[in-house]
Structures are given as C-alpha cells and as structure tokens.
Amino acid sequence: MSVVLRLDRLTKDFPVGLFGWNTQRALDEVSFELSRGEVFGLLGPNGAGKTTTLKLIIGLLRPTSGHVTVFGGLPGDRAARAALGFLPEHPVFYDHLTAEELLAYFAGLCGISGADRTRRVAQVLDDVGLGDVRRRPMRQYSKGMLQRVGLAQALINEPALVILDEPMSGLDPIGRREVRELILKLRDASRTVLFSSHILSDAETLCSRVAILARGRLMASGAVGDLTAGKVGGWEVIGANLSPAAVAALQARTTRATRIAHGRYTFELREGERPEPFIAAMTGLGGALVSASPTRATLEDVFVEQVS
C-alpha cells in the first residue's frame, strides 16, 4: 500500500517566559506513517501533543526538527493541500451565513464552481445530516450541528487525506454513530483518515492502527489487535442469591465486586485465577452462578498502561 503521510522524528519546542529564552518541548521525536485507505487514531490525554502533531502535519506550525511528508511532498505544497481536508478541534464560522452559503464559499476556495459546486455542497450537507437545515443561519445551530458543518467543510474538496481533531466533540450518541459510519465510508472509498481522540471506544471500533502519545512522546504504535494481543485478561463471574457475608468472604479472591441488584454481584477475578474454584466457593456459600466469561484486554487497558 502506498504511503500517504510520514512523520520522521518530529519534534516541536515552544518558547516560554517573558523573552522566550527557555523552551518547552511539546513533541519529542515522534515517528509513524499512514497508508492509503486506512483509519489511524492518534490517542492521548489532554496535553499529550495530539493537536500540535496535527498542526505540524497540515503546515500551521513548523517543526523544530524532524520532517513531515504528505503524498511525498512538504505540508505547504499546493498539491498536498489540495488533497487534504482538516477539521480543527474548535471550528469557528461566520454564523450569519447559512451552512449552504458557507460550504459554497469554501468550495469556491477549493476551485469548485458552477453546477459542480452546487452538487458538492448538497452532497456533503446530506452526508453529515444537515440537509434539512442547510438554509438556516448558523447562529441558530447547536454545538453538535456546528461540528457537523466542520466535518462538511473538511470533505468539500473530496480529499484523499482527511484529518479530524476530536471529530466526536459535542455530538450526541446518534451523531457519533453517524460520524463513525461516515468515517468508514471514507475508508471504503480508499480515503485515508487520521483522527485524534480521547474516546477510546471510537478508536477501537474504527481504527486499523493507532499511536498513543503521552507528554509529547510516542508511547506505543501499531495495529489495535497487536497492541492488545498477549495482554493478560481474566474472568468475570456473575452470581445471585448472595448474602452480604458471602460477598465479604468472596471479595478476598477478586479485584472488584460490583453490586448489580439485591443479592446479585459481578466479580472480577484476580489475575491468573481460574473460575472453577471461585464458583465452587460461591455456591458453597449459598450463591447461584449466573454466568462466567473471559475478559480480553482492551485498547483502554493498553492506553492506561502507557500513559500512567
């Protein structure tokens, strides 16, 4: 697969202090690459360097050292910019305009005119779920609706590389599901999507590969399956008809006991413990087995391990 984006030991220092004689390192020799047609997640807690990385990729910031190549060229190259769409974390628009007027303006900036512009504006507004309110002034839009406008402007030029900074921000569950479906459609059309997020469930659902940043450093990178493979899972046992005394006796063999309802509990067994002895002890105390199921390591487990 062809490489769309490559970061090579990318580093960014910002001046601090009154005269800027000192510097603070926001990004420290970060390297990864994206191939055509994949969805790549850039993950990390607040302040990890995700937004700085995206700004360096699109040319809004210049690196202190290291290199970025987009489609084999520099981020500022005209050809690279023409093939790129970007949604910032906090998009701001001319709120006296309608979504249709704003998108027509952005389409014109991208060199789309005439009937093609009308068709493209209508298509992207329908894709992000704003077709019915396209002629309403954006000052009447909710935060989630403005986020959808941001997605529409990122897609107006039919980019080969789409970069989204926290694309789920401000969206309700239905909106998040629609955005996930849109990202998968872009992937199926051989577009490349890079998005930053701290919502790990979205990344695990959408991404073929991820990179985890913490304190400006790349802590882990690779396929989601590879990152979670080999991580020790455990067992979750649900029991019923349990008295408080029985729960107290069983807790010593678990990492967590959670009350679901009266007499009904979920137990997470200690690492390496088989469920059979625990179930025997539980039934011996008068409890009844509801279910016993293995738990697998998740991207959240890997994330917490890397950033802690």
Measured CA to CA, the distance from residue 281 to residue 250 in angstroms comes to 8
Per-residue model confidence (pLDDT) at position 231:
58
Measured CA to CA, the distance from residue 145 to residue 110 in angstroms comes to 23
122: Cα separation from own chain's centroid: 27
Using one digit for the tens of pLDDT, what is the confidence trace for 135-153? 999 999 988 889 899 999 9
Per-residue model confidence (pLDDT) at position 170:
77
The answer to whether the CB of 34 falls within 8 A of the CB of 40 is yes
Domains and CATH numbers, the chain: 3-224 (3.40.50.300), 234-307 (3.30.70)
Tell me which amino acid residue 7 is: L
Per-residue model confidence (pLDDT) at position 267:
94
Per-residue model confidence (pLDDT) at position 19:
75
Using one digit for the tens of pLDDT, what is the confidence trace for 11-31? 999 998 877 788 899 999 999
pTM of the predicted protein model: 0.78
Per-residue model confidence (pLDDT) at position 202:
82
Q: Comparing C-alpha atoms, which of 33, 11, 32, 31 is closest to residue 23?
A: 11
Question: Which residues of the chain, if any, have pLDDT below 70?
Answer: 1, 230-233, 296-297, 308
Cβ neighbors of 171 (< 8 A, separation 6 or more) are: 144, 147, 148, 179
Using one digit for the tens of pLDDT, what is the confidence trace for 286-308? 999 999 887 766 777 777 777 76
Per-residue model confidence (pLDDT) at position 192:
95
